[in-house]
Amino acid sequence: MVPDSFSKAAAGQDWRSDLDSALADYAGRNWQGREIFLAERFEAARREIARWQAFANEGAELPPLAGAVMTVKACFDVAGWTASCASRVLADRPPAQSSAPLVRRLRQAGATLLAQTNMTEFAYGALGVNTHFGTPRTPLDPADERIAGGSSSGAAVSVARGYADFGLSSDTSGSARIPAAFCGVTGFKPSRGRYPTGGMAWLSTTFDVPGVIARDAALCRRIDTIVTGDTATPALTAADIRLALPAGFGAAFDSEVGQIFDACLSALRTAGVTIVEVPLPDLGESARIAAEGGVIGAEAYHLHSNHLAEALDKYDPLVGSRLVKGAEIPAHRYIGALRALEACRIRFDAASAGFDGFVLPTVPMLPPTLAELADEDIYLALNRRSFSLAEFANRLDLPSITLPTGAAPVGLMLTGTRGADRRLLSIAGILEPIVRITGLHR
């Protein structure tokens, strides 16, 4: 069954004027050094939206994403554009001859493609810093100096600024959810294998998945239906939802993050959600195993070894030096980590039985300013801290979604049980309005 069409027109809105207003806002801002788009098709998008508007006005039956505007992260192939991964290393590669299957599926569903979005080079970083192509800033910072987060930095800003309804992204350790949280929007990481990965540049073949950053959880669920054909919509109320609160993590949160998280928990409990604090030691254990086993480093080095040998000087200095270190990871340690992670997943599934998932802040800190990250040691420490909660979903292969709290660049993260993507998306739709505890600062 095809879901109802994406129809802002049905609510009396005008897709054409919405896009014109968005692009006028974009044109009126100074993006130098904080670029969010690496390629664009603004005029083609205007013509496309005008056609959908005409069909809507005529009462025609529309595909499910007609009227929706999308952006695509620069690690996905789009016909006619170079998937540079925001790196000078790939800047001269030929444009893609065809689009990634996931891009094609969304376009066939009626989505209008607007632009290719900036990112941390090769997705190797969670703060969105890009020395060569610019570092986007979160719209939630009036001073316009706090970073948007990464690696899907441009995608999150494109949605938060209202230039797009959703952005196609990727997620290795939180790369869709971290920038969504920092920018006050919704970010979804599906289970591995749920979305097609053809035409996507990998950082880690073990942890990478395509992701979605969108204006709300309902749109994430609509996109999931289009991509997978899964129309399951569990009939739930807040009183049916049972979430685990992992014990022992509160001390890691910045004070403002902790206060907002506590307020969200209180609002959820008042709404009837059951939240039980329980020890889930395999969360931290999975992160330790992946880090000590060098899983991302080994896989990234394998993927980049030829480029590193020929063009190390073209890499972002924050990325190239770390990629090179992947050569030092012994095979026995890497293979041992993969096996230990599988055992960790089995233990976690048993420990989390009886819950719909667990709840944490998406990021334990507020987004830093770019100036704070000028020192490489500080950058590396804050980069590691930024994905310290989001990475659990990737290490254990769980669906996960961040919801905007509306109070600050702080997200509430719901991580589901194995393979229960649709149940998580349904739960997110119920809880999203509850945790918007104040008006968005946008």
**CB atoms < 10 A from the CB of 14, how many?**
16
Q: Which residues of 316-327 are buried (b: 16+ CB within 10 A; e: fewer)?
A: bebbbebbbebe
Based on the residue annotation, tell me whether 175 is a catalytic residue of this protein.
Answer: yes
User: Can you name the CATH fold of 9-228?
Assistant: Amidase signature (AS) enzymes (3.90.1300)
Task: Please pick, among 84, 87, 151, 153, the residue that the annotation labels catalytic.
Answer: 151
- Pick among 1.20.210.10, 3.90.1300.10, 3.40.109.10, 3.40.140.80: CATH of 238-435: 3.90.1300.10
Backbone angles phi, psi at 66, to 5 degrees: -60, 130
Based on the residue annotation, tell me whether 151 is a catalytic residue of this protein.
Answer: yes
Distances (CA, A) of 346 to 227, 358, 396: 28, 16, 9
Question: pLDDT value at position 442?
Answer: 33
Q: DSSP 3-state helix, strand, coil percentages of the chain (rounded to 5)?
A: 45, 15, 40
**pLDDT tens digit string along 397-428?**
999 999 999 869 999 999 999 999 999 999 99
How far apart are alpha carbons 337 and 332 in whole angstroms? Answer: 9
Extract the tokens encoding 67.
Answer: 């009227």
Question: pLDDT value at position 438?
Answer: 54
Q: Confirm whether 9-228 and 238-435 share one CATH topology.
A: yes
Read out DSSP for 265-295?
Answer: HHHHHHTT-EEEEE--HHHHHHHHHHHHTTH
> Which residues face 213 on adjacent strands?
167, 187
Domain coordinates of the chain in residue numbers?
Answer: 9-228, 238-435
How far apart are alpha carbons 150 and 145 in whole angstroms? Answer: 15
Read out DSSP for 57-105?
Answer: HTT----TTTT-EEEEETTB--BTS---TT-TTSTTSPPBSS--HHHHH
Question: pLDDT value at position 399?
Answer: 98
pTM of the entire predicted model: 0.96
Task: Please pick, among 153, 173, 175, 286, the residue that the annotation labels catalytic.
Answer: 175
Question: Would you give per-residue pLDDT tens digits along the chain (442 residues)?
Answer: 234 455 444 445 799 999 999 999 999 999 999 999 999 999 999 999 999 999 999 999 999 999 999 999 999 999 999 999 999 999 999 999 999 999 999 999 999 999 999 999 999 999 999 999 999 999 999 999 999 999 999 999 999 999 999 999 999 999 999 999 999 999 999 999 999 999 999 999 999 999 999 999 999 999 999 999 999 988 999 999 999 999 999 889 999 999 999 999 999 999 999 999 999 999 999 999 999 999 999 999 999 999 999 999 999 999 999 999 999 999 999 999 999 999 999 999 999 999 999 999 999 999 999 999 999 999 999 999 999 999 999 999 999 999 999 869 999 999 999 999 999 999 999 999 999 875 333 3
Question: pLDDT value at position 277?
Answer: 98
Distances (CA, A) of 26 to 23, 30, 106: 5, 8, 24
Task: Please pick, among 5, 73, 169, 170, the residue that the annotation labels catalytic.
Answer: 73
Question: Cα–Cα–Cα angle for 248, 395, 381, nearest 5°?
Answer: 65
Let me know: does 130 contact 317? Beta carbons within 8 Å.
no
Question: pLDDT value at position 222?
Answer: 98
